Amino acid sequence: MADLTTDFLGIKSPNPFWLASAPPTDKEYNVRRAYEAGWGGVVWKTLGSEGPPVVNVNGPRYGAIYGADRRLLGLNNIELITDRPLQTNLEEITRVKKDYPDRALIVSLMVPCDEESWKAILPLVEETGADGIELNFGCPHGMAERGMGSAVGQVPEYIQMVTQWCKQYYSKPVIVKLTPNISDIRNPARAAFAGNADAVSLINTINSIISVDLDQMAPQPTLDGKGTHGGYCGPAVKPIALNMVAEIARDPETTGKPISAIGGVTTWRDAAEFMVMGAGNVQVCTAAMTYGFRVVEEMKAGLSQWMDEKGYTSTADFIGQAVPNVTDWKYLNLNYVSKAKIDQDACIKCGRCYAACEDTSHQAIWMKEDRVFEVNDAECVACNLCVEVCPVENCISMEAVTPGEVDPRTGKVVQGDYANWTTHPNNPSAVQAAE
Ligand SMILES: Cc1cc2nc3c(=O)[nH]c(=O)nc-3n(C[C@H](O)[C@H](O)[C@H](O)COP(=O)(O)O)c2cc1C
Ligand code: SF4
Ligand code: SF4
């Protein structure tokens, strides 16, 4: 069995699966059971300043969207940071860390954006013996209205300033959790590292109204006839998170810096994808809320099996391996030509590929006698739409045309060399460059 242990910022954990700061990590009772179930680490539910605890709504705080089988695809929430007293949380954190020294325990924090507030809470967290802190600059609802959470995360100068305070008043690793509610994720990431952050984690939840109650004429979840925007997470946000992680991983200013990836991780494969894209570990919230703590068993077993199959002996063998293959559109090889091919034995003759290609792509699929569907290479642009809409996995594949052969669509011989948009004759900039 492959070795799943990870070393993230010097914090060792038996596997790269950490629970993200959220309801699964909001109290000792939960965190102990999470560790017993096998989670490698947890980020404790966000703590706020000393004083009257935060007040949550006493009505529905979640909304969801589902797939056709009612599998939860996206979760929306309007929950705030912890509503339990600071002292209670600190005592519980101290006890849990003492009893589970081999598991990562990070404390998430969100206090007002002034030096005194940070200076006050950081020594208290230091005393707990926790392994590090995560700065919650991401929560998009409730706390942002009070000048915290994403209100800070949207201003790179604030991120840098608060990170510097934390590095000044706290001795252990500082992870900055980023909000996705921003136009270019590279800016807050650069600011975090400029403030000497040890790592960034992302994504927090995405601003969203998940649905509208058409009888009450109000957003859901609806409380006494009114609703508000919430934070969106779960499998549906994974592509957004993956892109943001990749953007930071390949940004020359931040490449190679530690990243903890969050957003829709539900299976071992999601985790592997984030890790090859540069993440040192992953954090999970919605999957644990949907399936319970034991979901980690499948994650660990699946990742371990994949590593064995690939011959990876440690997670370090594959972390970041896909980053060099993320490029800009302009560098894609325009000489590469492929065509769709339908496996007639696998085809169930549903006709979806035909409808999609005929009505919205390049009219490149013939429907022949007895509903036999075939690709017309002379029209196929290899867009992949038929592959995506076909209900039978691997029934349609994209096959590369061998260099030297003629592409029946263009009538041109397929070239074996690499040529991209920057050198293409139709690109006015390329022509200018040549001149
Ligand atoms: C109900 C709920 C409460 C959350 N509370 C916090 C929080 O207190 N602090 C924080 O940093 N993130 C919080 N999050 C965000 C998660 O930590 C995580 O960033 C987000 O859900 C994306 O991960 P996922 O797709 O695995 O759920 C919360 C998420 C949910 C669903
Ligand atoms: S790849 Fe695109 S163009 Fe080619 S057959 Fe499929 S849908 Fe049509
Ligand atoms: S969508 Fe797939 S299964 Fe349906 S007709 Fe096309 S190739 Fe066959």
DSSP letters for 355-410: HHHHHHS-S-EEEEGGGEEEE-TTT-----HHHHH-SSTTSEEEEEPPTTSEETTT
pLDDT over 60 at 435, yes or no? no
209 C-alpha to ligand 3 centroid (Å): 35
Give nearest CA residue, ligand 1 atom 3: 22
Question: Which ligand is located closest to the Cα atom of residue 287?
Answer: 1
| Residue 431 banded pLDDT, cuts 50, 70, 90 | low
pLDDT over 60 at 433, yes or no? no
Helix (H, G, I), strand (E, B) or coil at 200: strand
pLDDT in tens, 122-168: 999 999 999 999 999 977 777 777 777 778 889 999 999 999 999 99
pLDDT over 80 at 198, yes or no? yes
Helix (H, G, I), strand (E, B) or coil at 207: strand
Q: What is the pLDDT of residue 432?
A: 59
| Residue 53 banded pLDDT, cuts 50, 70, 90 | confident
CB 364 near ligand 2, within 6 Å? yes
Ligand 2: atom nearest CA of 398 is 1
pLDDT over 70 at 434, yes or no? no
Give nearest CA residue, ligand 3 atom 2: 390
pLDDT over 90 at 65, yes or no? yes
Provide CB contacts within 8 A for 280, sequence distance 6+: 6, 8, 9, 16, 199, 258, 259, 260, 319
Containing 275, the helix (H) or strand (E) segment is helix 268-276
Q: Return the residue matching tokens 């509903």.
A: 371
Q: What is the pLDDT of residue 161?
A: 95
Distance separating alpha carbons of residues 308 and 302, to the nearest angstrom: 10
Ligand 2: atom nearest CA of 340 is 1
Domains defined for the chain, CATH in brackets? 6-325 (3.20.20.70), 330-420 (3.30.70.20)
Q: What is the pLDDT of residue 152?
A: 85
Provide CB contacts within 8 A for 335, sequence distance 6+: 414, 415, 416, 417, 418, 419
Distance separating alpha carbons of residues 172 and 104, to the nearest angstrom: 13
Give nearest CA residue, ligand 3 atom 6: 353
Biggest CA-to-CA distance, the chain: 78
Question: Which ligand is located closest to the Cα atom of residue 337?
Answer: 2
Q: What is the pLDDT of residue 51?
A: 87
Q: What is the pLDDT of residue 384?
A: 98
| Total Cβ atoms within 10 A of residue 425 | 9
Q: What is the pLDDT of residue 150?
A: 75
Question: Which ligand is located closest to the Cα atom of residue 178?
Answer: 1
Distance separating alpha carbons of residues 300 and 40, to the nearest angstrom: 10
Mean pLDDT for the chain overall: 95
Instruction: Supply φ then ψ for residue 30, to 5 degrees.
Output: -70, -45
Ligand 1: atom nearest CA of 81 is 8
Q: Identify any residues that bridge with 176 across adjacent strands, giving them in sequence order.
A: 135, 200
375 C-alpha to ligand 3 centroid (Å): 11
Give nearest CA residue, ligand 1 atom 19: 204
Ligand 3: atom nearest CA of 354 is 6
Distance separating alpha carbons of residues 314 and 363, to the nearest angstrom: 48
CB 384 near ligand 2, within 6 Å? yes
Establish whether 139 is a catalytic residue.
yes
Distance separating alpha carbons of residues 25 and 46, to the nearest angstrom: 9
pLDDT in tens, 224-248: 999 999 999 999 999 999 999 999 9
Give the count of alpha carbons within 13 A of 80, CB side only: 19
CB 136 near ligand 1, within 6 Å? yes
Ligand 2, from 384, 409, 410: best to mutate by most atoms within 8 Å of Cβ? 384
CB 19 near ligand 2, within 6 Å? no
Q: What is the pLDDT of residue 67?
A: 95
The reported pTM is 0.96
Q: Residue count of the chain, please give it.
A: 435
Q: Which of 113, 139, 347, 380 is catalytic?
A: 139
pLDDT in tens, 71-124: 999 999 999 999 999 999 999 999 999 999 999 999 999 999 999 999 999 999
What residues line ligand 3, using a CB cutoff of 6 Å?
342, 347-353, 373, 390, 392, 395-396
DSSP letters for 175-237: EEEPPS-SS-THHHHHHHHHTT-SEEEE--PEEE--EEETTTTEEES-BTTB---EEEESGGG
pLDDT in tens, 266-322: 999 999 999 999 999 999 999 999 999 999 999 999 999 999 999 999 999 999 999
